[in-house]
Amino acid sequence: MKFGLFSNNRRPQRTLGEAWEEDIFEIVTADRLGFDEVWISEHQTPAELIIAKAAALTKNIRMGSGVRPLGYYHPIQIALEANATDQLTAGRYMLGIGHGFHARQMEWRGRDPADTRSMVEASIELVLKLWNADAPVDYDGPYWTGKQMVLQCPPVQSPHPPVAIACVTSLSSVELAGKLNLMMLTGDFIPASRLKKFGATLVATQVAHGHKPTRRNIRSTRVVYVAETDKKARDDMRESYQATIDWEIVNTPHHQVERIPPGGELKDITFDYLVDTGNLFVGSPDRVQALIEDHFEKTGGFGTLLIHAGRDYATREKRAQSMDMFMREVAPKLAHLDPDADMMTAAAAE
């Protein structure tokens, strides 16, 4: 198993400049501690701008957009900016793609929100065609046109940067990941039962399209906070995460709706309820390790655990301490987890 961050910038009490500086602090800290990767949400601005700044302050961590809503942009713009960011990061860039979730942002661009899903598939297939072309590309599709298109800025990685797609509720995104052999990004609010179904669908689709089956392409995101004791971890996080719940109920209720207690309502969600039910991985190193192992088993396995970041959880100093404790006392005990172990065992027996 590998480890990373999902930097989902929501710091409503800060200016955007201050919020992005906090995000970059977390990315720099993750790089220093040996995290493998970070995915940065596109909310107010493309993640590539933040990645370009973070690239100058980091050495090893891989950085991806989490995600670029493909309906917003012409595919050649996606490919050109991906290649430029790959150059600026010296080959550490990853392209994350998805639909977006605010219909109004499609409307701002004169697009029909009903076309969002079909636009994603058309766009990524054209982006891949542009990346793999050895001659200028003509395209006359349902959403975009272009003549003699050439990517004047090449990527560092060959044949192109890795691509991941966000998978939230629909199996169609998972099937696209399997068909095109893409990585999968999943949110912190997705239940383990759905992740298990996603994994089974991904593997079946990979096989159907002639790809080697693997669950290593799956990224699972969870809120993770580690302190010396379970009580200290809860006390550090309680106020800030309850504020997160309250903000999301008003602004992004889909992040919390599947966490409603049985027979309850959104207002019944509390920080302690989410910790008690294992929805948040908050506690001592031993407790957090056990929660992650249980999550791995229930989901059928995944290749990378992403720690939810980009929020003002606890304080800056305590977030850094939690990340440090996680990498020293938890990650080494989980690194051996292999989501493909069962498939390799079955293949060896044949």
Mean pLDDT for the stretch of residues 40-58? 96
Nearest residue to 72 (alpha-carbon basis) of 31, 123, 139, 36: 123
Domain that holds residue 330: 2-66+167-230+281-349
Q: Which of 237, 248, 246 is nearest to 272 (CA)?
A: 237
Assigned token pair, 170: 């629909």
pLDDT tens-digit map of 200-239: 999 999 999 999 999 999 999 999 999 999 999 999 999 9
Q: How many CB atoms lie within 10 A of CB 72?
A: 19
pLDDT of the residue at 44: 87
Does 127 reside within a domain? no
Query: What pLDDT is recorded for position 195?
Result: 97
pLDDT (0 to 100) of residue 216? 97
Q: How far is CA 150 from CA 86, 137, 154, in A?
A: 17, 7, 10
* pLDDT at position 116: 79
| Cα–Cα distance, 293 to 289 (Å, whole number) | 6
pTM, full prediction: 0.95
- Residues 79-132: pLDDT tens digits? 999 999 999 999 999 999 998 666 777 676 777 777 878 999 999 999 999 999
- Report yes or no on 32 lying in a domain: yes
Question: Mind spelling out the 3-state secondary structure of 193-229?
Answer: HHHHHHHHHHHHHHHHCCCCCCCCCEEEEECEEECCC
Provide Rg for the chain, Cα atoms.
20
**178 CB-near residues (< 8 Å, 6+ apart):** 201, 202, 203, 204, 205, 206, 208, 209, 211
**In the beta sheet, which residues pair with residue 139?**
146
In the chain, what's the furthest Cα-to-Cα distance?
62
Rounded distance between C-alpha atoms, residue 206 and residue 249, angstroms: 37
pLDDT tens-digit series, residues 27-43: 999 999 999 999 999 98
Report yes or no on 180 lying in a domain. Answer: yes
In a domain, 87, yes or no: no
- N-to-C CA span, the chain: 26
State the total domains in the chain: 1
In this structure, is residue 333 part of a structural domain?
Answer: yes
Quote the distance between the C-alpha of residue 245 and its chain's center. 20
Question: What local confidence, expressed as pLDDT, does residue 346 receive?
Answer: 52
Residue 210 lies inside a defined structural domain of this protein = yes
Q: How confident is the model at residue 349 (pLDDT cuts 50, 70, 90)?
A: very low
Query: Does residue 253 form part of some domain?
Result: no
Q: Mean pLDDT over all residues of the chain?
A: 94
Residue 241, SS3?
helix
Q: For residue 199, what is the domain's CATH number?
A: 3.20.20.30
Which residues 6+ apart lie within 8 Å of 295 measured at CB?
192, 220, 222, 278, 281
d(CA 102, CA 90): 33
Mean pLDDT along residues 5-13: 96
Alpha carbon distance 349, 55 (integer Å): 45
Least confident of 10-24, 169-183, 333-347: 333-347
Percent with pLDDT over 70 in the chain: 95
Those residues whose C-beta lies under 8 Å from the C-beta of residue 32, and which sit 6 or more positions away, are: none
